[in-house]
Amino acid sequence: MNTPRFLRFLNKQWRLSRAVVAYYDALPSGTCNEEQVEVVAYLRNHPAWIFPYSFCEHYRPQDVPVFYDTACALPYTLQDGHRIYLKKSWKGSKIRRKYNALRLEQDPTSPHRYLTDQFRVEAGDVLVDIGAAEGNFALSVVDKVKRIYLIEADGEWIEALRATFAPWRDKVTILHKFVSDHDDQDCITLDTLMEDDPEINFVKIDVDGAERELLAGATNTLREAHPMRLALCTYHRQGDDQEFMELLNGHGFKTEFSRGYMLFYYNRQKLSPPYLRRALIRAVKD
């Protein structure tokens, strides 16, 4: 049964859909690209979601199984046959909702999907997962890589990450830090990580809007490291997509945006035209 709270939320989503459609309808003919036209067509008949696409309809929180490991007092679910542990404070309904959102993010047609058939983690790669959170991305490639560095600033995730990656502790290093533009007790730069392990050649970056500070501490890495592949999120702040694309191109990377757009409405006060944001850049330097 739909609760009054959910119905209020749904009404907000419909209002957002109408605002987005009205904005793009008012643009001169031929202004929108094919991917924007696709999103607007969807929003004419649907409330606004983070991913304004029909693939979202195939994922339901109630389909996420939840288990509890009494040995470490942590909840977990399953990903590709592996246990993926979650925050101790989370309960069943929240786990299902949060993990279902991860499944949406990494749907093969999602704008937020890090990898493609052409842009992938290869056997023997050394991966840095910055903003690892629950570690779902790293877990998907852990059997393939040579080493993984999981870097997460939220202390509540550290215990869960240690439990998830215990079977691979010989090749997984977990750092409880921010990756930023300086080094201190709480922060480390990507340049420092590269100095410590020059074999790093794949970096995933999803740091909730702190991407600019991280890139400011990665000047040497961007200029000198190769081969290098970056999966860099661009949707947290308006304008990050073009700024980051120009920065990476200036350092010799071949870049492309993931296909499609996101409606990042979690901070509604900062959600304004043109509304649609590119989700991430895939960048390669051979």
Q: What is the pLDDT of residues 150-183, one digit of tens each?
A: 999 999 999 999 999 999 999 999 999 999 999 9
Domain-located, residue 168:
yes
- Can you tell me the distance from the alpha carbon of 33 to that of 177, in angstroms, rounded to the nearest whole number? 39
pLDDT at 2 over 80: no
pLDDT tens digits, 252-263: 999 999 999 999
The reply to whether 148 and 35 lie within a common domain is no
Domain-located, residue 229:
yes
Of 13, 31, 48, which residue constitutes the final position of a domain? Answer: 48
Domain-located, residue 170:
yes
pLDDT at 42 over 70: yes
The reply to whether 129 and 245 lie within a common domain is yes
Domain that holds residue 21: 4-48
The overall average pLDDT reported for the chain is 96
The reply to whether 162 and 22 lie within a common domain is no
Q: Give the closest residue to 132 by CA, choosing from 142, 122, 124.
A: 142
The reply to whether 20 and 110 lie within a common domain is no
Domain-located, residue 93:
no
Q: Output the pLDDT for position 121.
A: 98
- Confidence at 269, pLDDT banded by 50, 70, 90: low
- Can you tell me the distance from the alpha carbon of 24 to that of 28, in angstroms, rounded to the nearest whole number? 9
The reply to whether 125 and 43 lie within a common domain is no
pLDDT at 34 over 70: yes
pLDDT at 109 over 70: yes
The reply to whether 32 and 111 lie within a common domain is no
Domain-located, residue 53:
no
The reply to whether 34 and 114 lie within a common domain is no
Residues above pLDDT 70, as percent of the chain: 98
Q: Output the pLDDT for position 69.
A: 98
pLDDT tens digits, 176-221: 999 999 999 999 999 999 999 999 999 999 999 999 999 999 999 9
Domain-located, residue 138:
yes
User: Residue 202 in contact with residue 193, Cβ under 8 Å?
Assistant: no
pLDDT tens digits, 211-251: 999 999 999 999 998 899 999 999 999 999 999 999 999 99
Domain-located, residue 241:
yes
- Confidence at 5, pLDDT banded by 50, 70, 90: confident
User: Residue 274 in contact with residue 257, Cβ under 8 Å?
Assistant: no
- Can you tell me the distance from the alpha carbon of 103 to that of 115, in angstroms, rounded to the nearest whole number? 14
The reply to whether 128 and 242 lie within a common domain is yes
The reply to whether 43 and 109 lie within a common domain is no
Residues 6+ apart with CB under 8 A from 157: 87, 132, 133, 134, 135
225: its two tokens: 């490291």
Burial of 13 (0-12, 13-18, 19+ CB in 10 A): middle
Q: Output the pLDDT for position 79.
A: 97
Strand segments, DSSP code E, in the chain are 67-69, 74-79, 82-85, 126-130, 147-151, 172-175, 178-179, 187-188, 202-205, 228-233, 254-257, 280-285
The reply to whether 150 and 216 lie within a common domain is yes
- Can you tell me the distance from the alpha carbon of 78 to that of 263, in angstroms, rounded to the nearest whole number? 28
Q: Output the pLDDT for position 225.
A: 87
Domain-located, residue 58:
no
The reply to whether 35 and 124 lie within a common domain is no
CATH code of the domain covering residue 192: 3.40.50.150
The reply to whether 163 and 42 lie within a common domain is no
- Can you tell me the distance from the alpha carbon of 233 to that of 216, in angstroms, rounded to the nearest whole number? 15
Burial of 168 (0-12, 13-18, 19+ CB in 10 A): middle
Classify strands 254-257 and 280-285 as parallel, antiparallel or unpaired: antiparallel
Q: Output the pLDDT for position 19.
A: 96
Collapse the DSSP code of 30 into the 3-class scheme (helix H, G, I; strand E, B; otherwise coil) and give the result.
coil
- Can you tell me the distance from the alpha carbon of 222 to that of 189, in angstroms, rounded to the nearest whole number? 12
Number of folded domains that form the chain: 2
pLDDT tens digits, 43-102: 999 999 999 999 999 999 999 999 999 999 999 999 999 999 999 999 999 999 999 999
